[in-house]
């Protein structure tokens, strides 16, 4: 029952002297086993893997899970941890995710495994999925292609009077119709003054003539997500709008060109930030330039001034600089980029020139 992802994780566990690992975060479980349900626990030991879930997922788990045997618990799958023979050995070093296991869940682990030494396994889990295999990259590329087409389809309805929520709903509908499992995150549609809000999720505000409209959205394929942002103008752009847009576009294109394996994530942020700062808008770019995507919408490596991360081949990262002017509006442009030794491969194909709709 071989599984390359699980086998790689086992090597990291051995290096950290962890005898068994309990995985409860479902995106991580899916990444390691292929199970797409919403409930279950994965136990990994040096020689075996066991996935515990409940009756609702009996057929699904047996069809999907790779690299682990399947146990159907009579009740809660987390409670079933206490009955697993693989965790009964005294003084077993059992790892768990400090990031995703709550305080109450950790207390339950202490109760269920009284003879075990529980250890935070974030050292082996924190970068899980950062470096993609060919299958993951193919899934992200498919998700990005779906997002590109969905965006193109909704451009003809971006008109004065339509609400941000209506635009978000249509965008998500089109992605679903094109094959996305679900939106990668809560879709952002922010128009006019609200486009100055980097995370301005869609509201009941109606789009007006002359508004910037920022769309930040993504599709999901086999658990892998994409993350794309485009900003358009409803009607003719003013000189100021064109100026701000051109600065952001120049910054974003430079960031994409800077990417290659071996450089610090901070170096990409530096390139983008310097262009915006030199143009006089440094104080209006308050977030990092990008982040990794994959099983999570935000993961490593990070592209920011505070990032300690170095880019590796087959990381997939976003490049998304922006300028936000409170009370007026803002612009963000974002692409997903595969890191290679020779540079960055931009996945998205949606138009980046300023669209005047």
Q: How confident is the model at residue 217, as a pLDDT?
A: 98
Whether 303 has a pLDDT exceeding 90, the answer reads: yes
Residue % of the chain over a pLDDT of 90: 95
Any idea how long the chain is?
A: 357
Q: How confident is the model at residue 75, as a pLDDT?
A: 84
Q: How confident is the model at residue 2, as a pLDDT?
A: 57
pLDDT tens for residues 20-55? 999 999 999 999 999 999 999 999 999 899 999 999
Give the residue from 349, 341, 342, 344 showing the smallest Cα distance to 303. 344
CA distance 244 to 230: 14
Instruction: Determine the average pLDDT of the residues in 107-127.
Output: 93
CATH 3.40.350.10 in the chain, residue ranges? 4-125
Q: How confident is the model at residue 326, as a pLDDT?
A: 97
Whether 255 has a pLDDT exceeding 90, the answer reads: yes
Give 312's pLDDT tier (boundaries 50, 70, 90): very high
Work out the mean pLDDT of the chain and round it to a whole number: 96
**What is the CATH number that goes with domain 134-346?**
3.90.230.10
Whether 1 has a pLDDT exceeding 50, the answer reads: no
CATH 3.90.230.10 in the chain, residue ranges? 134-346
Give the residue from 145, 235, 251, 246 showing the smallest Cα distance to 191. 235
pLDDT tens for residues 165-207? 999 999 999 999 999 999 999 999 999 999 999 999 999 999 9
Instruction: Determine the average pLDDT of the residues in 87-107.
Output: 93
Residue 293: half-sphere exposure toward Cβ, Cα within 13 Å: 32
Give 290's pLDDT tier (boundaries 50, 70, 90): very high
Phi, psi (deg, nearest 5) at residue 136: -60, -45
Instruction: Determine the average pLDDT of the residues in 321-338.
Output: 98
CA 280 vs CA 244, 247, 275, 327, 353: distances in Å: 10, 10, 9, 18, 22
Task: Give the fold, CATH level 3, of 4-125.
Answer: Creatine Amidinohydrolase; Chain A, domain 1 (3.40.350)
Residue 58: half-sphere exposure toward Cβ, Cα within 13 Å: 6
Alpha-carbon Rg of the chain, whole angstroms? 23
Give 3's pLDDT tier (boundaries 50, 70, 90): confident
Q: How confident is the model at residue 100, as a pLDDT?
A: 93
């Amino acid at each position: 029952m071989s599984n390359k992802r699980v086998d790689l994780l086992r090597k990291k566990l051995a290096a950290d002297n962890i005898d068994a690992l309990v995985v409860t975060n479902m995106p991580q479980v899916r990444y390691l086993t292929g199970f797409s349900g919403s409930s279950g626990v994965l136990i990994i030991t040096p020689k075996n893997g066991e996935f515990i879930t409940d009756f609702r997922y009996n057929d699904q788990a047996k069809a999907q899970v790779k690299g682990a045997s399947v146990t159907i618990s009579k009740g809660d799958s987390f409670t079933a941890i206490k009955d697993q023979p693989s965790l009964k050995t005294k003084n077993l070093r059992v790892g768990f995710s400090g990031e995703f296991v709550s305080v109450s869940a950790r207390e339950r682990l202490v109760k269920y495994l009284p003879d075990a030494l529980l250890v935070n396994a974030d050292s082996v889990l924190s970068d899980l999925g950062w470096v993609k295999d060919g299958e993951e990259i193919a899934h992200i590329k498919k998700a990005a292609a779906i997002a590109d087409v969905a965006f193109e389809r909704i451009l003809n309805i971006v008109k004065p009077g339509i609400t941000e929520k209506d635009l978000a709903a249509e965008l998500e509908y089109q992605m679903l119709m094109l094959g996305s499992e679900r939106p990668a995150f809560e879709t952002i549609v922010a128009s006019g003054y609200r486009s100055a809000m980097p995370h301005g999720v869609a509201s009941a505000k109606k789009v007006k003539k002359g508004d910037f409209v920022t769309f930040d959205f993504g599709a999901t394929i086999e658990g892998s997500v994409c993350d794309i942002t485009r900003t358009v103008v409803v009607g003719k752009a003013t000189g100021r709008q064109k100026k701000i847009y051109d600065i952001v576009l120049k910054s974003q294109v430079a960031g994409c060109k800077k990417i290659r394996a071996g450089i610090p994530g901070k170096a990409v942020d530096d390139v983008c930030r310097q262009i915006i700062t030199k143009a006089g808008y440094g104080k209006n770019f308050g977030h990092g330039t990008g982040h990794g995507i994959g099983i999570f919408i935000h993961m490593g490596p990070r592209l920011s001034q505070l990032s300690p991360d170095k880019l590796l081949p087959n990381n997939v990262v976003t490049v998304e600089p922006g300028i936000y002017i409170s009370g007026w509006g803002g612009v963000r442009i974002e692409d997903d980029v595969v890191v290679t030794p020779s540079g960055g491969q931009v996945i998205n194909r949606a138009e980046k020139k300023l669209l005047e709709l």
